[in-house]
Structure 1
């Protein structure tokens, strides 16, 4: 019997609870059965009838500090057990899809986690890759409509993320957003909701006064995944941000119409 803290391996919005002991990985059976909607006692009895099945009892320390006994499968048995689950007998399509995902990917996720400390979701990586390609195409499409410094900086950021690198940007061309600037100044959610709109209007007025034209526009993706148009400022415009901040919050600069 083995006693240690279980590792929680992320998988498909769930977790696989497992331990590593030397070169062996043992997977707690009950949590996986609960994830898949299977009766754990029935699965234990089924495993006892299989000549290839190797089970053991592990003593695991839970998050509450207590020690629990769990039936566990070694890595080979876990893979074989998943492969022998008959999805045609499962009524729910969602449950069938999840079981297939476990059959195809769970063992790889365990290997990745215990060899690198990270379980990589290949489907998510592909989705991120496609999304970045779409962003590059969008940036190319708005060429001539968006300030070239802002456009170049955004393109460098997208490409660097795709390559897993830190973007090399001229500090003056780095995009600067009103909400980010106000967060730097210590405004929380309530303060942002109250002041971001008026701050942005005053900033636009000052920009027009300094440059004789409206700031160009750019698309940004919000935290909820929506695309919203904003004025395309860069770090080169920070002095204008500072002047508006001083006017609205310090009273040391008076913005004229």
Structure 2
């Protein structure tokens, strides 16, 4: 992979970027696309950086390269499973979390 690869997923665009021979997912677009708070999710990922394989890397963007927090694609389903839909107040966001959790395998197959 070079640059970003766009993966359509439930009406949103997820991105993949290669790092050390593995596909990684820039997490801010995922978190914000679901409707979750980036600050809270960033803290959760950072507090367990080894568990999630968190990597800060430079990725291309329209405004030029920027540093972003990424997870290995293979860890994305595990991270999604930790999001507790029942604790989310917004029905729209809760429904989106459930939709993403149910369709996680679909995104990994599309990326392969």
TM-score class normalised by the smaller sequence: 0.7 to 0.9
1:56-135 equivalent positions in 2, closer than 5 A: 56-62=55-61, 64=62, 66-109=64-107, 111-115=108-112
Q: Secondary structure at the match of 1:52?
A: helix
Structure 1 vs Structure 2 CA RMSD: 2.0
Compute the displacement of 1:7 (Å): 1.2
Kept in 2, the 8 Å contact 1:75–1:107? The answer is no
Q: Which has the higher helix share?
A: 1
1:22 and 1:54 map into 2 onto residues whose CA distance is 12
1:81 and 1:28 map into 2 onto residues whose CA distance is 13
Q: Encode CA deviations 1:34-76: one digit per residue, 9 max, x unaligned.
A: 11111222212112333522100121112x2611111001123
Q: Which has the higher strand share?
A: 2
2:53 and 2:15 map into 1 onto residues whose CA distance is 17
- Alignment TM-score, normalising by the size of structure 1: 0.39
1:82 and 1:89 map into 2 onto residues whose CA distance is 14
Compute the displacement of 1:81 (Å): 1.2
2:80 and 2:104 map into 1 onto residues whose CA distance is 9
- Alignment TM-score, normalising by the size of structure 2: 0.83
The count of residues paired between Structure 1 and Structure 2 equals 110
Structure 2, unmatched stretches of 5+, are: none
1:77 and 1:88 map into 2 onto residues whose CA distance is 22
Q: Encode CA deviations 1:8-51: one digit per residue, 9 max, x unaligned.
A: 11011111121134652211110011111112222121123335
1:82 and 1:52 map into 2 onto residues whose CA distance is 13
